[in-house]
Chains A and B, each alone.
Chain A
Amino acid sequence: MTEFREDFREILRLVRPGARVLDVGCGEGTLLDLLQREKGVDGRGIEISSDGVAACLAKGLAVMQGDADRDLAEFPPHAFDYAILSQTLQAVREPKKVLSDLLRLADRAIVSLPNFGYWRMRWSLLTRGRMPETKALPDPWWATANIHLCTLRDFTALCSDLGLRIEAAAALEHGRPARPIDPDHWVENWRAESALFLLSRKGGQVAERRADGDLFG
């Protein structure tokens, strides 16, 4: 078993070979590097820390220093096939705007985020009466970068507000393969520790690519 995260594995499976991909919050470029090597994508990244960008450049990736809140506007519409936002939406200042931007500059967005409705969260809050600290969200409330936490149900409601179609969703759990889910089912809002969504704009001119077999089976 290689070291990379469950959502990376799933994203790798989702992305069509040779696609144009923007990874927002790409860190040191691990995912982009994988996507380029294994899927031959034309990849770009945005990363907030200069050390992260420098590490990406050293790997030969095309990455810009910037942040999701401010710098997505500079890309023209439909510049990419996929925009990826991996475990970052909860850390941006304006999640609604960022989500909307992602689906302006790309035909599809792949978004993963921790589920605050996960049963361990609820249990921890119920029994300890304090903000939960878990493997996925390890920092105390006053130090966390995660300022916009939400539940699966919150997220699907936002998607519906923005007129986004959820083409596919999967639950992610540490050390286990991704599990396709119906994100509107109440039980998943308890059961999923973290979830990954494939989104597109309702009524957008996105070609149907399900037949390619690169989406959830």
Chain B
Amino acid sequence: MDTLDAMHRVETGGGTARLPMPLMLESGARLDGVEVAYKTYGRLNEDRSNAVLITHALTGDQHVASPHPQSGKPGWWARMVGPGRPLDPQRHFIICSNVIGGCMGSTGPSSNDPKTGKAYGLAFPVITIADMVKAQAMLVESLGVETLFAVVGGSMGGMQVLQWAADYPERMFSAVCIASAARHSAQNIAFHEVGRQAIMADPDWCGGDYLKLGVRPEKGLAVARMAAHITYLSEPALQRKFGRELQKDGLSWGFDADFQVESYLRHQGSAFVDRFDANAYLYITRAMDYFDLAASHDGVLSKAFMRARAVRFCVLSFTSDWLYPTTESRAITRALNAAGAPTSFVEIESDKGHDAFLLDEPVMEEALKGFLAAAASARGLN
């Protein structure tokens, strides 16, 4: 509880910012009256040089280090953000915003379409990682921050970090990209497609119009989450946690959740639908699938980073992450080196799979502390 109290104390601000201009999307569509929900921790220093932007993953949100308003659980990255942690509100001004297309207060498919006054549903335009980053850049500017000390994120958050480096390198001093990739692989797209099909196969999805009809495709969304959740874990971690352990003595000779792993997945699914919107899941997974940073730079990834030579990069991967394996991080590192950006890279030994970046990984913590401390002294912080 002490940590939670401390968290409440360090949470200094937040709310919903309305972007001053319409958002011109990568698809060519235009989004008016965009709102971005965000939280801040710590205070901006006099030089405005200590701001850190944390970019969240697919199902993350702005509550990086404060309790989730619905579940009451601690922030999703409280291990990384807090007093004495690598990102410390006593030293950094930490900003975390909900991505556009999301469902935690930023404009997304469940927001009201100003044209109709009703929820967008599938009338919401397809958004991309670059669109999310554009909205963040406008938010950061509106908070009075010209240059971020660091942009930090894992998984889809790491994609946003790379997009920041491609689009706004002059507005950032350093970048941390964890367990991520510069493009979605066929396997990544395939898993997402399974999730989307599960949602769309649920009769309560109603062609995306479920909010207008007062229903929710809970079963479909839960199945999507169950399938995705398996990709976040490693086989040894699943085996160690559950093995073939049963829920009760003996088999049911039916289709109840006999095995503990089944019960665990069902729980993951049902807890998820309480806090997430099915259409948001469709839109955000689509944004990730469309992500291919090299494609918009003549197919050469290093060209995406040509303007980012002055940015200090830290790239981390985990040995057992098969969703965004080390080869992806190596490709990023290679491109950064070819572009001439100062880059650190380490593959961390862990059997926890993709989710390792959210869990207790002392090597990750130490590496980030070291990287950020060196960047801080180069930036003249402290």
Contacts and interface: CB of A to CB of B under 8 A. Distances in A.
Interface of A: 42, 44, 50, 53-54, 56-66, 74-76, 79
Interface in B337-382: 337-338, 340, 342-349, 363, 366-367, 369-371, 373-374, 377
A57 B338 contact: no
Nearest to B348: A50
State the main secondary structure of chain B at its contact with A: helix
B10 to A, nearest CB: 24
A76 B371 contact: no
B373 A65 contact: no
A59 B370 contact: yes
Given A42-B342, A50-B347, A64-B337, 11 more contacts: A53-B346, A54-B348, A54-B367, A56-B344, A57-B344, A57-B346, A63-B344, A64-B333, A65-B347, A76-B337, A79-B340
Contacts of B337: 64, 74-76, 79
B374 to A, nearest CB: 3
B134 interface: no
B363 to A, nearest CB: 5
Given A50-B348, A54-B363, A76-B338, A64 B343 contact: yes
State the main secondary structure of chain A at its contact with B: mixed
A50 B345 contact: no
B334 interface: yes
Interface string B313-329: 01000000000000000
A72 to B, nearest CB: 10
A74 B331 CA distance: 10
29 contacts: A42-B342, A50-B347, A53-B344, A53-B345, A54-B370, A57-B346, A57-B367, A57-B371, A58-B366, A58-B369, A58-B370, A59-B370, A60-B370, A60-B371, A60-B373, A63-B344, A63-B346, A64-B333, A65-B345, A65-B347, A74-B334, A74-B337, A74-B338, A75-B337, A75-B338, A76-B337, A76-B338, A79-B337, A79-B340
Contacts, number: 68
Contacts of B338: 74-76
Contact of B345 (A59, A61, A64, A75): A64
A54 B347 contact: no
B312 interface: yes
A61 B347 contact: no
Contacts of A74: 333-334, 337-338
Given A62-B342, A74-B334, A76-B338, A57 B347 contact: no
Contacts of B343: 44, 62, 64
A57 B366 contact: yes
B333 A57 contact: no
Contacts of B377: 60
3 cross-chain pairs, A with B, having the tightest CB-CB distances, nearest first: A60-B374, A58-B370, A64-B345
Chain A CB within 10 Å — which of B346, B348, B374, B377 has the most? B346
A152 B349 CA distance: 39
A58 B346 CA distance: 12
B346 A65 contact: yes
A46 to B, nearest CB: 9
A75 B343 CA distance: 12
Contacts of A76: 337-338, 340
Contact of A50 (B312, B333, B346, B374): B346
Given A50-B363, A65-B345, A65-B346, A57 B340 contact: no
Given A60-B371, A60-B377, A74-B334, A54 B340 contact: no
B312 A62 contact: yes
A79 B337 CA distance: 9
A53 B326 CA distance: 15
